[in-house]
A and B are shown apart, each in its own frame.
Chain A
Amino acid sequence: MIYKAQSGHPGGALSVADFTAACYFHEMKLDPKNPQWPLRDRFVLSKGHACPAQYAALAMKGFFDLSHLDTLRKEGSILQGHPDMKKCPGIDISTGSLGQGFACGVGMALAAKMDALDYRVYVALGDGECQEGEIWEAAQTANKYKLDNLVVFVDNNNLQIDGTCDEVMPNIDLGKKFAAFGFDCYEIDGNDMAQVVAALELAKVVKNGRPKCLFANTVKGKGVSYMENQCGWHGTAPNEEEYKQAIAELESQYIVED
């Protein structure tokens, strides 16, 4: 997708890919034939630039034809550079400006509580994104309204555009901050599918009025050796040679079903 577009954000898309896949293929109640099904679970990619991972999941889930994946970032595409709920089936809220998606997820979880419905809301935040103040405004609202139907992933890859988070703006005790804001916080390896699935299960069964934070330690660029832990691969597309190497490496690590 990103190679064909020659534009996009491979690093973050790869770090969120595992827990995004866990949500779409293991966890969430969805109806790809009826993307607006009112009782569906919601997924908010607050770090909207990682959307290639979400687009791939939506396409494989059947929300739209796989052929759309080749149109990422092209004129007229349903797959905008950042997710557009009006263009792309299965996107629950448009995102792209960091810090804002979380509050929207809180609104969705609140609506479920107000209507006494049991759909759940999953939000993916970047660790760098947590430098935005609105994140903490949203977190305190989730606590106040006891949104135990809300699960927040923190994609803790410790990289942002200008360097490591520790260099740019240290996220002091990020997991503890969520705990201090009233979340049940579970630290996991966000690129270990078994851990992600187990944590999602736990988050679902613990109905104690507390929102859940899955603090996911991840590797930016996961699965592609030359991209891993390199902030330079935040918003850069691979060339042909790099693309071929990336695909070969990924296919050697993952079972690809026909």
Chain B
Amino acid sequence: MSNTKKISTRDGFGKAIVELGQQDSNIVVVDIDIGKSCKTVDFRKTLPEQYINVGIAEQNGAGVAAGLATCGKIPFVVTYAAFGSMRICEMIRQQICYPKLNVKIACSHGGLTPANDGASHQCIEDMGILRTLPNMTVIMPADYSSAMALVKAAAAYKGPVYLRFTRDAVPVVYDEAEEFEIGRAKLLREGKDVAIIANGDTVCLAVEAAKHLSELGISARVLDMHTIKPLDVQAVNDCIKDTGRIITVEDHNILNGLGSAVADIVAESGKAVLRRIGVQDQFGQSAPYERLLEMNGITVENIVAQAQQLLNK
């Protein structure tokens, strides 16, 4: 994919939120000081009447958003994943998920992408924590186009949504016209020997691995599981039935994220073997993003190796 255009998913959010705000004056951005980094600058300039900045006060940002939502607004609380999930976890639970209010938590810097910032700003726990909250929907788009589409789908859905974007530019996987449905996985490549289920920045790694596997005579299906809650159970069951071998790939702790969600279905079926690739339940450090992925085995090579092991090839 070396020739593919690269752009970050946070940029996809920044573009989509302006379009949404222009179409619907009830769309509101609640920034928590880091709008520049989270790509809300265009929104602030274009739609100042729909823009609030509560300063460095995440808990209050969540509460203000809940109050706005009770009055018919569709607020997007915008910050980094580490703060938008864990710093305000209980506010999300009490004031947003429990009353099922129409608040979106839109976070950049998910996973290991804030690489140089170190472990304090990397976020490997968010999706797992938030998927345990009743009424919450948890989404991580794979590229710029799907980020735009899924932000729009989240705005159209009535209820709490957590959207996770990342800092770095990633290859564009989809056309801008591609349609996305919350909770419906995207089949990127058909295959019968093994299924690779990935989300976010690792989707392009899965696609790359499938190409290598094809050269080795292994037919790999690739699914983009952009929504881990509600999980596309049908798509996972199809993988179990059609391939019997599943590899999950995610830039998230292997505990409680995509791999765990898929493992629930696999375990209940008793009819497939599973390998989970992800952050090895350890904090990161300041280092290049690619190195952090390597330290955790989140690589094309490891996906290929795991597939070979599953097939005894």
Residues of A within 8 A of B (CB): 38, 42, 44, 84-86, 92-97, 99-112, 114-115, 133-134, 137-138, 140-141, 144-145
Most buried by A among B60, B75, B94: B60
Pair B57/A97 contact, Cβ less than 8 Å:
no
Which A residues lie within 8 Å of B59 (CB)? 99-100, 103, 133-134, 137
Pair B99/A86 contact, Cβ less than 8 Å:
yes
Which B residues lie within 8 Å of A38 (CB)? 71-72
Pair A111/B73 contact, Cβ less than 8 Å:
yes
Question: Which of A42, A100, A105 has a CB less than 8 Å from the CB of B94?
Answer: A100
- Tell me if B187 is interfacial: C-beta within 8 Å of chain A: no
Pair A103/B62 contact, Cβ less than 8 Å:
yes
CA distance A101 to B73 in the complex (A): 17
Q: Which residue of B lies closest to A139 (CB)?
A: B60
Question: Which of B49, B71, B94 has a CB less than 8 Å from the CB of A107?
Answer: B71
Question: Which of B28, B52, B75, B99 has a CB less than 8 Å from the CB of A94?
Answer: B99
Most buried by B among A44, A110, A144, A145: A110
Residues of B within 8 A of A (CB): 28, 49-50, 52, 54-55, 57, 59-60, 62-73, 75, 90-91, 94-95, 98-100
Pairs across A and B, CB under 8 Å, 20 listed: A86-B100, A93-B95, A94-B94, A94-B95, A94-B98, A94-B99, A101-B63, A103-B66, A106-B67, A107-B63, A107-B66, A110-B67, A111-B73, A114-B50, A115-B71, A134-B59, A134-B60, A137-B59, A141-B64, A144-B55
Q: Which residue of A lies closest to B67 (CB)?
A: A107
Which B residues lie within 8 Å of A84 (CB)? 98-99
CA distance A257 to B70 in the complex (A): 34
Pair A96/B94 contact, Cβ less than 8 Å:
yes
Pair B73/A93 contact, Cβ less than 8 Å:
no
Which B residues lie within 8 Å of A44 (CB)? 67
CA distance A222 to B279 in the complex (A): 56
Which A residues lie within 8 Å of B60 (CB)? 103, 106, 134, 137-138, 141
Top 3 closest pairs, chain A to chain B, by CB: A107-B67, A103-B63, A137-B60
Main secondary structure of the interface of A (DSSP, over half): helix
Pair A85/B70 contact, Cβ less than 8 Å:
yes
Which A residues lie within 8 Å of B64 (CB)? 103-104, 106-107, 110, 138, 141
| Given A93-B70, A107-B71, A111-B73, A138 contacting B95 (CB threshold 8 A) | no
Q: Which residue of B lies closest to A103 (CB)?
A: B63
Q: In the complex, how many angstroms separate the beta carbon of A89 from the nearest chain B beta carbon?
A: 14
CA distance A17 to B66 in the complex (A): 26
Q: In the complex, how many angstroms separate the beta carbon of A104 from the nearest chain B beta carbon?
A: 4
CA distance A140 to B55 in the complex (A): 9
Q: Which residue of A lies closest to B50 (CB)?
A: A114
Most buried by B among A94, A96, A112: A94
Q: Which residue of A lies closest to B99 (CB)?
A: A94
Most buried by B among A38, A84, A104, A140: A104
Which B residues lie within 8 Å of A140 (CB)? 55, 57
Which B residues lie within 8 Å of A108 (CB)? 67-68, 70-71
Pair A111/B65 contact, Cβ less than 8 Å:
no
Pair B52/A145 contact, Cβ less than 8 Å:
yes
Pair A100/B63 contact, Cβ less than 8 Å:
yes
Question: Which of B54, B73, B95 has a CB less than 8 Å from the CB of A100?
Answer: B95
Q: Which residue of B lies closest to A114 (CB)?
A: B49
Pair A114/B28 contact, Cβ less than 8 Å:
yes
Q: Which residue of A lies closest to B58 (CB)?
A: A137
Which B residues lie within 8 Å of A101 (CB)? 63
> Besides A108-B68, A134-B57, 16 other CB < 8 A contacts?
A38-B72, A84-B98, A86-B100, A95-B94, A100-B94, A100-B95, A103-B64, A107-B65, A107-B67, A107-B68, A108-B67, A110-B64, A111-B70, A111-B71, A134-B60, A137-B54
